[in-house]
A = this chain, B = another copy of it.
Amino acid sequence: MLIEERLEKEMKIIEENKTVTIESLAEFLSVSKDTIRRDLIKLEKKNVIRRIHGGAVLASKEALIFNYSERANQGNSIKEKIAEKTAKLVKDHSSVIFDSSTTVEAVIPKLNGKNLKGITNSLTHAILLAKNERTSVSVFPGKLNNEQLFLYGAETVDKIRQYHVDYTLLGVFAISENGLFIHTEEEGLVKRAMVQRGNKIIALADHTKIGTTGYFKVCSLDEIDILVTDKMPELKFVELLAQNNVDLVITDE
């Protein structure tokens, strides 16, 4: 049986019964409990179930909140690797602004266990942050983008200006010698304000985004402190980063 097929069967059973034991699933599907456990971990990562001692329950409310079609293809290893490295850069007991990108979102679960003050304009990020009980979360005000669930507008920008934090985590749409770019002004103005209010600016961008430009300029290269990416960029760009005092963190060794 294909794994996907098995996961679907498991999901179906949990949906029908609201709860399930690992024992019963293992027996019903004729695989070991270990396999069931690993399956349930996968389902939990998609926020469709909640694991509990001895089994799992349906995560009805979570399911409502998170949009799975987008989130289903997790394990996007580039993003996960970047997230992993980034999480290590964030010291315990610090304050962090999280911008509303999906790369930044991937960082949040990796920060689990740290004592943080998290501030964000993304509703989904806020909910993920709230799962770490050691994190105190604040949310900026603003108009809500109904699709992507981030807050924006003058209110958001004004509020950001009242904060000052240790780190700003910035998801990047395009980065080049001309600076960092994003495709909408809406988000751009917010990101720009976030850059100005962070002590250490950490930009996250996979290699496909390096050397490209976009519509709205968020900031110039010298305004960021660290760039986390998956592959070593061209020498020319590496030198450019050095000239602008940007530390480069590469996930591939």
Residues of B within 8 A of A159 (CB): 141, 155
Confirm or deny: A60 has a beta carbon within 8 angstroms of a beta carbon on chain B. yes
Cβ of A176 within 8 Å of any chain B Cβ, yes or no, is no
**Chain B residue with the shortest CB-CB distance to A65:** B127
Bound-state Cα–Cα, A131 to B64, Å: 10
Q: Does A71 contact B (CB under 8 A)?
A: yes
Q: How far is the CA of A52 from the CA of B155 in the complex (A)?
A: 36
Which of A1-9, A81-89, A196-204 interfaces with chain B? A1-9
Determine whether A57 belongs to the interface, using a CB cutoff of 8 Å to chain B: yes
Contact: B138 with A142, CB < 8 Å?
yes
Q: Are A137 and B146 in contact (CB under 8 A)?
A: yes
CB <8 Å contact, A138 and B130: no
A216 within 8 A of B: no
Chain B residue with Cβ nearest A21: B2
Decide yes or no whether A133 CB sits under 8 A from chain B: yes
Range of interface residues on A (Cβ < 8 Å): 35 or more
As a 0/1 sequence over residues 39 to 79 of chain A, the CB contacts with chain B under 8 angstroms (1 = contact) are 00000000000001111010011001100000100000000
A133 near B151 with CB under 8 A, answer: no
Q: In the complex where A71-B60, A127-B123, A149-B130 touch, is A52 in contact with B138 (Cβ < 8 A)?
A: no
Which residue of B3, B55, B126 is within 8 Å of A123 (Cβ)? Answer: B126
A53's partner among B2, B131, B137 (CB-CB below 8 A) is: B2
B123–A146 CB distance below 8 A: no
Q: Are A144 and B126 in contact (CB under 8 A)?
A: yes
Nearest residue (CB) in B for A50 is B4
Q: Is A244 an interface residue (CB 8 A)?
A: no
In the complex, what residue of chain B is closest to A135 when comparing beta carbons?
B146
B137 touches A144 (CB 8 A): yes
* Set of chain B residues within 8 Å of A144, measured between Cβ atoms: 126, 129-130, 136-139
Chain A residues within 8 Å of B, Cβ to Cβ: 2-5, 18-19, 21, 52-55, 57, 60-61, 64-65, 71, 123-124, 126-131, 133, 135-144, 146-147, 149, 151, 155, 159
